[in-house]
Amino acid sequence: MFASAFGFLEATVVVYLRAAAGLLPGYHGTLSDVVRLSGESPAIGEVLGELPSSVLTLEVLREAGTLLVLISVTLLPSVKSRIRVALFLWAFAIWDTVYYAALWATVRWPHSIKDTDVLFLIPKPWFAPVWFPPLVSALTLLTVLLTRASPTKV
């Protein structure tokens, strides 16, 4: 539940950031206007170039905060390192999946799984097609489930 809620929260922050920077067509209107006009959004590389450096710095700090929150919540239930790593991977995969689902549900972005996105800004911008994060998340969830089901001791 935490990872799902956090993924949705992250998606709304991205919508607000793009709207505040003037990079979300229709942001002065209703959410329906944003959805209708989202096909006019500039390419993600252009978006990064349009952001003021102070906003880009804030975005890097927000990403670092997101990772710290995900790490800290995985440290709570167990003292075993292997379990902590599995919990982090589980939470991260759910968070990332919900993030893209929430972006699509709210502003109908991405338009295609072939669209390019900035996956992270830490330590430098990582660009990839949108299909890549859900694939990695699905494989991560599957790996955690299969590892959990294995008879070896944790």
Interval 63-90: pLDDT, tens = 888 888 888 888 888 778 888 888 889 9
Handedness of CA 97, 42, 119, 67 (dihedral sign): negative
Distance CA 65, CA 44 (A): 22
What pTM was computed for the model? Answer: 0.67
> Which has more pLDDT, 2 or 19?
2
DSSP 74-98: HHSS-S-HHHHHHHHHHHHHHHHHH
